[in-house]
Structures are given as structure tokens and as C-alpha cells.
């Protein structure tokens, strides 16, 4: 089996914690190049991926892409579309971290370029492989919930002081703010489960002193099927609500807390380290049933490695990409509409 050599552009949180470890864990895939201008991050990359070639700029990579089978874009949001276009122009398949781009128009340009070039393009919507999300999908598949009527989903944090990074003090045009950051996951999950949307409503606020971007948001979606999705994302939640609450005609499902995979990756654990990857302990299982008659049900294991497993199959065998980039375009259109609604009518 020929080794697939991957270039990771950007070695901050996304590149170093999410992408590179999952690439390295996939048999026959290797982090061959890391693009970073930071001396500290360059040293970190060499330590974590022995034999990796580190270059200081995307120019150096695209000038000589010899031997590279895939480019992963893990840079700040505002650069995603431009770097993806440059990678495609260099003849390279691409994975783009979410959000795909800062506008749906830019995202559509990237999709069109990939189609013209006949190159694989996917978007890293890793939360499709969260344990609790996979559990809900399984409950829907076996009919245990009945007809889903309401889907509630939250990514909430209590961070009363800003850290000052671009996600907090950047502009909407740069893709800053919690709506684009966490909303990219929440909207994608809702669309994946319940399909197209006919109506969008949004409340958007910047609550903390010194913040320029939104840090507190609520989005309501009405799907064509009639299901209503209520999505919260916040950095200022003094008490956290359930991660998921799904209300069906027969039963409901409620879960608290986050999938364990992110914490494991941040702590330096890797898939295959020993303990079953993505396993949720029984005390963290969600509750299933009706009011007064609920029981914990086992959580499906989380499976972030599935993304690059599928991407390897795309590159080797022509299998479908793990996430259709057109899905990410639709997510961006909804986020754009949500921001327009929250801003109110122009005067």
C-alpha cells in the first residue's frame, strides 16, 4: 500500500491537535510537510512527527509540491478559501478546516475549482463523528425516538474574560465570532440529521468587555420536514445546558458534556494508544425515555479517525469524500442568513 504524504498548512490548535495526530494515526498516511512561520511550532512539528519537512510559507509548498498527495488547510478562517484555491491550482487534493470559507460565495468558487480540476475536496466537520451525535443518529435510524419534533444542541462555555485572539477581536469579515466558529458545527449537525431548511432566526450578541466579535448566539432553524432545530453557542454561559436534547413523538434523549475525543487529543493521547478510542464512560451516558421513565443508554464510541480513514479511501480508491463540500456551502449560507437576521433591516 503506497504511503500517502500529507502537507499540513498551519500548526496551531487545528493543525497540531486535530489534524496531524489523526493523519499520523491512519495506517499508510504520514505528515510529510508542515507549513508554519513560527520557530517554536516548527520545532514542535519536528518533535511530534520525526522526519517531517517544515517550510515557512505556503509559497514554498506550492512552488514545489512534489510527492505530496493531500494538503490540509488549518490556518485562520480568512485564509481558507485562498489557500484551498492555490492548492488546487498546484494539482493537489484538499481538506479545509471548518468554516470552509468566510462567505458562501468564496466557498462556491473553491468547489467549482475542484470540480474543474477533477480533484478531491472535503471539509473537516469532525463533529459528525462525536459520540453523542452518532448515538442520536442511531436512535433515529432504529425508530426509538419516533418522529423527531425538536432538536436542541449547545456548545456553551463560561469564559468571562477574553483572551484577545482573532476569534474574539477580529471582524465578521475575517470569520471571527462564535457564530462562525461553533455554529459551523451545530448547523452542520442539524442539516446532516434533518436536511434542508426553510426558515432561519438568529439572536447575536457581544457580551464581554473588549470583545469585537459575537460571543453569544442562538439560531433557530425550521427544516423542510417540519423539525425545529434550536442551537445555542456561547462563551458566557454561567451554567451549561444539556449538550443535546432531542424530543420525539415516542421518546426523548438528553446528554450532558462533550465528546471525550477533543480532551484526549489536547492531552496528547492518540488513537491506538491503548484504551478504546472515543469510549464514553457509563456515568456520562445520555438519558432515553419519557418524563418519569428514563434510563441511561450506552453511547456509541466517538470516531474522529473515520474522517482520514475515509479520505485515504478517496485518494486510493476514488471513494466519496468524507464530507461533501457542498454541505459546507449550505451551512455557510445559513450562517450568513442568520447574521443578516440578527443585524436587523438596513435603515
Q: What's the CATH code of the domain at 24?
A: 3.40.50.720
330 part of a folded domain = no
pLDDT for 274: 67
| Domain match, 244 and 271 both | yes
Q: Find out whether 244 and 136 touch, Cβ atoms under 8 Å.
A: yes
Residue 286 vs residues 51, 280, 300: alpha-carbon distances, Å: 43, 10, 11
The span from the CA of 101 to the CA of 110, in Å, is: 9
| Domain match, 139 and 282 both | yes
| Domain match, 107 and 225 both | no
Strands 286-290 and 94-97: unpaired
Asked whether the predicted pLDDT for residue 193 surpasses 60, the reply is yes
pLDDT for 347: 37
pLDDT for 38: 96
Asked whether the predicted pLDDT for residue 345 surpasses 70, the reply is no
336 part of a folded domain = no
pLDDT confidence tier of residue 175, bands split at 50, 70 and 90: confident
- What is the total count of domains within the chain? 2
Domain extent for 211? 131-301
Count CB-CB contacts under 10 A for residue 208.
Answer: 15
Asked whether the predicted pLDDT for residue 123 surpasses 70, the reply is yes
271 part of a folded domain = yes
pLDDT for 163: 82
Helix axes 104-117, 80-89, angle to 10 degrees: 10
pLDDT for 165: 77
| Domain match, 287 and 160 both | yes
27 part of a folded domain = yes
The span from the CA of 141 to the CA of 139, in Å, is: 5
344 part of a folded domain = no
Q: In terms of C-beta density within 10 A (0-12 exposed, 13-18 middle, 19 or more buried), how is residue 116 classed?
A: exposed
| Domain match, 103 and 135 both | no
pLDDT confidence tier of residue 168, bands split at 50, 70 and 90: confident
Q: Find out whether 6 and 34 touch, Cβ atoms under 8 Å.
A: no
pLDDT confidence tier of residue 346, bands split at 50, 70 and 90: very low
333 part of a folded domain = no
Q: 78 phi and psi, to 5 degrees?
A: -65, -20
169 part of a folded domain = yes
pTM score of the predicted model: 0.94
| Domain match, 117 and 223 both | no
| Domain match, 109 and 210 both | no
CATH number, domain containing residue 285? 3.30.360.10
Amino acid at each position: 500500500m503506497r504511503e500517502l504524504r500529507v502537507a499540513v498548512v498551519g500548526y496551531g490548535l487545528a493543525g497540531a491537535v486535530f489534524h496531524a495526530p489523526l493523519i499520523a494515526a491512519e495506517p499508510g498516511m504520514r505528515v510529510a510537510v508542515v507549513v508554519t512561520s513560527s520557530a517554536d511550532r516548527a520545532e514542535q512539528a519536528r518533535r511530534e512527527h520525526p522526519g517531517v519537512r517544515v517550510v515557512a510559507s505556503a509559497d514554498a509548498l506550492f512552488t514545489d509540491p512534489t510527492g505530496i498527495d493531500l494538503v490540509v488547510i488549518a490556518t485562520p478562517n480568512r485564509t481558507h478559501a485562498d489557500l484551498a484555491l492555490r492548492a488546487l491550482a498546484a494539482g493537489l487534493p484538499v481538506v479545509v478546516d471548518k468554516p470552509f470559507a468566510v462567505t458562501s460565495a468564496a466557498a462556491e468558487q473553491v468547489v467549482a475549482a475542484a470540480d474543474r480540476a477533477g480533484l478531491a475536496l472535503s471539509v473537516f466537520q469532525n463533529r459528525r463523528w462525536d459520540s453523542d451525535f452518532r448515538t442520536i443518529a442511531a436512535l433515529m435510524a432504529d425508530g426509538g425516538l419516533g418522529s423527531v419534533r425538536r432538536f436542541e444542541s449547545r456548545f456553551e462555555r463560561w469564559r468571562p474574560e477574553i483572551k484577545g485572539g482573532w476569534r474574539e477581536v477580529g471582524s465578521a469579515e475575517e470569520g471571527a465570532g462564535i457564530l462562525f466558529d461553533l455554529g459551523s458545527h451545530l448547523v452542520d449537525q442539524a442539516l446532516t440529521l434533518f436536511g434542508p431548511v426553510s426558515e432561519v432566526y438568529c439572536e447575536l450578541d457581544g457580551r464581554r468587555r473588549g470583545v469585537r466579535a459575537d460571543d453569544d448566539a442562538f439560531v433557530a432553524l425550521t427544516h423542510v420536514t417540519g423539525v425545529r432545530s434550536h442551537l445555542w453557542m456561547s462563551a458566557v454561559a454561567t451554567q451549561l445546558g444539556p449538550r443535546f436534547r432531542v424530543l420525539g413523538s415516542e421518546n426523548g434523549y438528553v446528554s450532558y458534556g462533550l465528546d471525550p475525543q477533543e480532551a484526549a487529543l489536547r492531552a496528547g493521547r492518540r488513537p491506538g494508544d491503548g484504551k478504546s478510542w472515543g469510549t464514553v464512560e457509563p456515568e456520562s451516558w445520555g438519558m432515553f425515555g419519557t418524563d418519569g421513565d428514563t434510563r441511561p443508554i450506552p453511547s456509541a464510541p466517538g470516531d474522529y479517525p473515520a474522517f482520514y480513514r475515509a479520505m485515504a479511501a478517496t485518494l486510493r480508491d476514488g471513494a466519496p469524500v468524507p464530507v461533501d463540500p457542498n454541505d459546507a456551502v449550505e451551512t455557510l449560507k445559513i450562517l450568513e442568513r442568520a447574521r443578516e437576521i440578527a443585524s436587523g433591516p438596513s435603515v
